[in-house]
């Protein structure tokens, strides 16, 4: 295992938060525990607790919308506070773990201990004298694989995890088979027909298996192989079929673990290795355990490892769905904010590197989530706004895309920009490939149809207005949460309409004309880009979200090259923005915007707040708040995007090299990055010279931007283009 492409610890993880992680985007494995009681917490993206009774629907408010618009336009700044159906706040259904596989060793191993995770293979390993374990989650076969050595073992499937609700109906069975044994755990939720079932096939080499229900005792074994899967269901699970599926993975003429690992690694390693970052870190620092490296926040070795870990965890969490707030993992049923997909910043930040960091697996997972929810998004548009088209919810559990999570202080049902933000990574991906996914095209058309129906009101200047409008999760200093012309809503509407026009030339003229009727951004009395363009609405600066700078990042609407005055106003808005509650996503969002505005000091400061704020567990998974408070994947998954943005930025017609390289990392290499004009790029830099090697897949002229200015760059498909620049 390379110490850049993995991490290790010399002591066991006694907290599940410090457990090393493996996953294939469906199943997850969280490995922790002591040598005499090792635990693998099994998770699956589909595991959300069923709700009580009829699933919640969006509020039926369409017939009241014109009245709300009239009141807001007439100056009633609090009109939206009663634009609800009177219900209380309803969280989306919470994500939870399935169970833990416990491996007890009657004779506790002694001697030196080491645990590690290899990012290139996804294998988590532990070893001490006389006992070893390897765990990985197969991307090829969708099964959790454990390979154990140690002569005497006691194996159980244990549903007892923190926060598990009272009233779970649990059934267990352990049956000896020709291959070894079959352990089954069935859990039914309280008051529900929904259940989930876990099945573990145990294959024993050179030993004996005996039943000590609900455990399996193994004595004298040379090695033991465990294959585990979990399914969520309403009817009875077909355990026999699941067992047969696992048995089919045990060939008689080969080492099954090696064969399974080979099949998995062919997919996992290929994806993981596409992009690498090397900051010429000190080899001695690279060799340190992760927990020790985290105490050196200025170390290039730490940033190298967090970049690698971020890509590894993001890939491992993405498959059936993109990552949740906790990625794909949790060891507690009480997941903060339901472990949901939160679409007004968190999911968007976590997946921000997918296109540039060459992880189409993440983009495909993201696209699949969107595709499954189109019917629900259409109901949101129809029920809340009386419009055709689609509106994305701010929160989803992965099953329902209906907008029902809202309150007076968080009127998330009024937010209309979500679909554009969720679609932006898919558009970026299409640009890197030079083709247009018909699924993305179809949803963009629906978003444009929504805006056709919704954008009907005008202001005194004759411009269209977005009313009601919501800037997550902030409000004007002199008003309320539901307002008019939030900067994010304006940017999103313009971008969605113009992008839909690009994908659908037949409707281009109509949709571009609608986009052109939207008002421009407003610059307030402080010289800052206002969070609400509607005159008279005052800014609230101390907030973790930077929704009003959506035009800077992730969009290209505001930038220092084409719109320098707006970029200066956006920079002033960034200067005035507070950190509010010190959330990791707020700091890294700040860094992404600052990178686009070429403010290296702000990028370094924001990174420093995260690297020096004790946000990372020994697992290199992150927390939402400092001092490792609230397990959360935002920082872990977003960090690679921040680092790439400091080194390379691209649009379909522009390449920006080293826009804000932090001075702490004067030399390095970033290899394999994809650009939005269809070229793969390797970048090497030192204080004396910068070299970029471009491998374009299509012939195109782009503008090259460096610290010395801009110039045209002609690229020819299939021909490498080498740029050598002077000192940066």
User: What's the pLDDT tens digit per position in 289-345?
Assistant: 999 999 999 999 999 999 999 999 999 999 999 999 999 999 999 999 999 999 999
pLDDT of residue 728: 58
CA distance 470 to 547: 10
Q: CA 611, CA 625: separation in Å to the nearest integer?
A: 12
> In this structure, what token pair is assigned to residue 543?
């907030």
Task: Answer for the pair 411, 83: CB distance below 8 angstroms, yes or no.
Answer: yes
pLDDT of residue 259: 94
Count of other CB atoms within 10 angstroms of residue 158: 15
Q: Which two tokens stand for residue 71?
A: 């009141």
Question: Per-residue pLDDT for 1 more than 60?
Answer: no
pLDDT at 579: 85
- Asked whether 467 and 482 are in contact (CB, 8 A), the reply is no
| pLDDT tops 60 at residue 632 | yes
- Split at pLDDT 50, 70, 90, the class of 454 is very high
pTM for this prediction: 0.97
Please, which pLDDT band fits residue 707 given cuts at 50, 70 and 90? confident
> For residue 18, how many other CB atoms are within 10 A of its CB?
21
Residue 588 has pLDDT above 80, yes or no: yes
Whose structure tokens read 């005996």? 210
Q: In this structure, are residues 200 and 157 in contact, taking their beta carbons and an 8 Å threshold?
A: yes
pLDDT of residue 109: 67
CA-based torsion, 460, 464, 467, 470: positive or negative = negative
Q: Coil, strand or helix: which one is 587?
A: helix
3-class state of residue 589 by DSSP: helix
Q: Would you tell me how many other CB atoms lie within 10 Å of the CB of residue 119? A: 26
- pLDDT higher than 90, residue 254: no
In this prediction, residues 346-363 reach a mean pLDDT of: 97
Going by pLDDT thresholds of 50, 70 and 90, the confidence category of residue 130 is confident
Angstrom distance (rounded) from CA 529 to CA 521: 7
Query: Is pLDDT at 110 greater than 80 in this prediction?
Result: no
CA–CA separation, 494 vs 168, rounded Å? 49
- Say whether the peptide bond before residue 31 is cis (omega within 30 degrees of 0): no
Q: What pLDDT shows up at residue 296? A: 96
Q: Tell me how far apart the alpha carbons of residues 504 and 507 are, in angstroms, rounded to a whole number.
A: 6
* Yes or no: domain 6-48+96-272 corresponds to CATH 2.70.98.50: yes
Token representation of residue 35: 């040598």
Count other Cβ atoms within 10 Å, centred on residue 175: 13
Q: What's the whole-number average pLDDT of the chain?
A: 95
Scan for tokens 């990028």, then name that residue: 603
The CA distance from 460 to 497, in Å, is 23
pLDDT score recorded for residue 727: 64
Nearest CA to 342 out of 448, 421, 445 is that of 421
Decide which of 361 and 664 is more confident.
361
Q: Which two tokens stand for residue 61?
A: 């408010």
Residue 490 confidence (pLDDT) above 60: yes
Tokens of 310: 């971020």
Residue 224: phi and psi, rounded to 5, are -135, 135
- How many angstroms separate the CA atoms of 341 and 348, rounded? 9
Q: How far is CA 600 from CA 562, 587, 645, in A?
A: 20, 14, 11
Min mean pLDDT across 71-75, 142-146, 351-355, 659-663 is at 659-663
Beta bridge partners of 205: 223
CA distance 38 to 134: 11
pLDDT at 97: 98
Q: Are 397 and 95 in contact (CB under 8 A)?
A: yes
**Cα Rg for the chain, rounded, in angstroms?**
26
* Residue listed under structure tokens 């707030």: 325
Closest by CA position to 480, among listed 194, 13, 158, 68: 68
Sign of the C-alpha dihedral computed for residues 533, 590, 652 and 320 taken in this order: negative
Distance, in Å, from the CA atom of 272 to the CA atom of 532, rounded to the nearest integer, reads 41
pLDDT at 580: 85
CATH T-level fold of 62-91+317-578: Glycosyltransferase (1.50.10)
**Using an 8 Å Cβ cutoff, are 136 and 124 in contact?**
yes
Show Cβ contacts of residue 614 under 8 Å, excluding neighbours closer than 6 positions: 294, 626, 627, 628
Percentages helix, strand, coil for the chain, rounded to the nearest 5? 30, 25, 45
Q: Supply angle C-alpha 350, 2, 664, rounded to 5.
A: 60
Residue written as token pair 């399935």: 98
Q: Domain-by-domain residue ranges, the chain?
A: 6-48+96-272, 62-91+317-578
CA dihedral 585, 591, 593, 595 (to 10 degrees): -150
C-alpha 702: how far from chain center: 30
Per-residue pLDDT of 512-566, as tens digits, reads: 999 999 999 999 999 999 999 999 999 999 988 999 999 999 999 999 999 999 9
Confidence (pLDDT) at 151:
78
Q: How many C-beta atoms lie closer than 10 Å to residue 682's C-beta?
A: 18
Burial 437-464 (b: 16+ CB within 10 A, else e): beebbebbbbbbbbbbebbeeebeeeeb
Q: Which of 166, 95, 164 is nearest to 338 (CA)?
A: 95
Residue 204 and residue 430: Cα distance in Å, rounded? 48
Rounded average pLDDT over 373-389: 98
Segment 399-428 mean pLDDT: 96
Q: Which of 419, 473, 665 has its CA nearest to residue 586?
A: 473
**Could you tell me which residues come within 8 angstroms of residue 451 by beta carbon, excluding any fewer than 6 positions away?**
389, 493, 496, 497, 511, 514
Q: Same fold for the domain at 6-48+96-272 and the one at 62-91+317-578?
A: no
Q: How far is CA 619 from CA 32, 127, 187, 290, in A?
A: 10, 17, 29, 8
**pLDDT of res. 2:** 63
* Residue 474 DSSP label: -
Place of tokens 């697992």: 619
E strand or H helix at 439: helix 438-454
- Maximum pairwise Cα distance, the chain: 85
For residue 395, the Cα-to-chain-centroid distance in whole angstroms is: 14
Model pLDDT for residues 167-200, shown as the tens digit of each residue = 999 999 999 987 789 999 999 999 999 999 999 9
HSE-up (13 A, CA, CB side) for residue 514: 26
């Amino acid at each position: 295992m390379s110490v850049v492409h993995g991490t290790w610890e010399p002591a066991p993880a006694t907290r599940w938060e410090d457990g090393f992680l493996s996953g294939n985007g469906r199943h997850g494995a969280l490995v922790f525990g002591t040598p005499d009681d090792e635990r693998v917490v099994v998770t699956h993206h589909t595991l959300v607790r069923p709700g009580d009774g009829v699933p919640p629907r969006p509020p039926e408010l369409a017939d009241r919308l014109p009245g709300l618009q009239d009141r807001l336009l007439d100056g009633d700044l609090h009109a939206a506070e009663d634009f609800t159906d009177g219900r209380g706040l309803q969280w989306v259904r919470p994500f939870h773990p399935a169970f833990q596989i416990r491996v007890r060793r009657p004779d506790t191993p002694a001697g030196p201990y080491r645990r590690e995770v290899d990012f290139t293979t996804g294998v988590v390993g532990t070893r001490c004298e006389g006992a070893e374990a390897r765990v990985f989650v197969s991307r090829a076969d969708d099964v959790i694989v454990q390979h154990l050595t140690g002569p005497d073992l006691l194996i159980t499937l244990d549903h007892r995890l923190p926060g598990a609700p009272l009233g779970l109906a649990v059934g267990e069975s352990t049956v000896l088979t020709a291959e070894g044994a079959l352990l089954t755990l069935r859990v039914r939720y309280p008051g529900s027909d929904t259940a989930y079932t876990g099945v573990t096939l145990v294959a024993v080499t050179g030993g004996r298996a005996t039943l000590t229900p609900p455990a399996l005792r193994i004595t004298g074994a040379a090695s033991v192989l465990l294959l585990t899967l979990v399914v969520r269901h309403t009817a009875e699970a077909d355990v026999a079929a699941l067992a047969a599926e696992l048995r089919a993975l045990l060939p008689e003429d080969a080492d099954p673990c090696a064969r399974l690992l080979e099949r998995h690694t062919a997919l996992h390693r290929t994806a993981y290795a596409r992009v690498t970052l090397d900051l010429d870190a000190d080899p001695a620092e690279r060799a340190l355990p992760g927990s020790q490296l985290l105490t050196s926040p200025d170390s290039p070795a730490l940033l190298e490892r967090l970049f690698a870990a971020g890509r590894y965890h993001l890939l491992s969490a993405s498959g059936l769905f993109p990552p949740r707030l906790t990625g794909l993992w949790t060891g507690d049923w009480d997941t903060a904010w339901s472990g949901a997909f939160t679409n007004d910043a968190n999911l968007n930040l976590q997946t921000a590197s997918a296109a540039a960091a060459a992880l189409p697996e993440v983009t495909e997972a993201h696209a699949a989530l969107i595709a499954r929810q189109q019917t629900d998004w259409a109901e949101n548009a129809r029920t809340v706004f009386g419009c055709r088209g689609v509106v994305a919810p701010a929160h989803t559990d992965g099953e329902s895309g209906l907008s029902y999570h809202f309150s007076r202080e968080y009127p998330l049902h009024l937010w209309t920009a979500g679909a554009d933000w969720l679609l932006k990574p898919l558009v970026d991906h299409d640009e890197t490939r030079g083709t247009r996914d018909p699924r993305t095209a179809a949803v963009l058309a629906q978003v444009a149809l929504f805006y056709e129906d919704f954008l009907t009101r005008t202001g005194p200047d004759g411009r269209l207005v977005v009313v009601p409008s919501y800037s997550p999760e902030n409000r004007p200093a002199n008003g309320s949460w539901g307002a008019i012309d939030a900067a994010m809503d304006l940017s999103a509407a313009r971008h969605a309409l113009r992008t839909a026009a690009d994908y659908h030339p037949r409707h281009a003229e109509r949709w571009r004309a609608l986009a052109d009727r939207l008002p421009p951004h407003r610059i307030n009395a402080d010289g800052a880009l206002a969070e609400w363009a509607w005159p008279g609405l005052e800014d609230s600066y101390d907030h973790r979200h930077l929704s009003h700078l959506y035009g800077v990042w992730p969009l290209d609407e505001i930038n220092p090259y084409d719109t320098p005055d707006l970029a200066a106003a956006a920079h002033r808005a960034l200067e005035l923005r507070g950190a509010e509650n010190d959330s990791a996503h707020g700091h890294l969002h700040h860094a992404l915007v600052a990178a686009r505005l070429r403010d290296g000091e702000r990028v370094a400061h924001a990174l420093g707040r995260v690297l020096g704020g004790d946000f990372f567990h020994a697992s290199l998974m992150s927390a939402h708040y400092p001092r490792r408070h609230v397990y959360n994947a935002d920082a872990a998954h977003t960090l690679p995007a921040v680092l790439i943005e400091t080194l390379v930025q691209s649009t379909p017609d522009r390449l920006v090299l080293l826009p804000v390289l932090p001075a702490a990392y004067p030399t390095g290499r970033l290899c394999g990055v994809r650009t939005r004009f269809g070229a793969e790029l390797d970048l090497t830099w030192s204080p004396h010279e910068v070299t970029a090697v471009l491998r374009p897949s299509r012939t195109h002229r782009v503008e090259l931007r460096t610290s010395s200015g801009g110039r045209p760059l002609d690229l020819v498909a299939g021909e490498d283009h080498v740029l050598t620049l002077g000192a940066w």
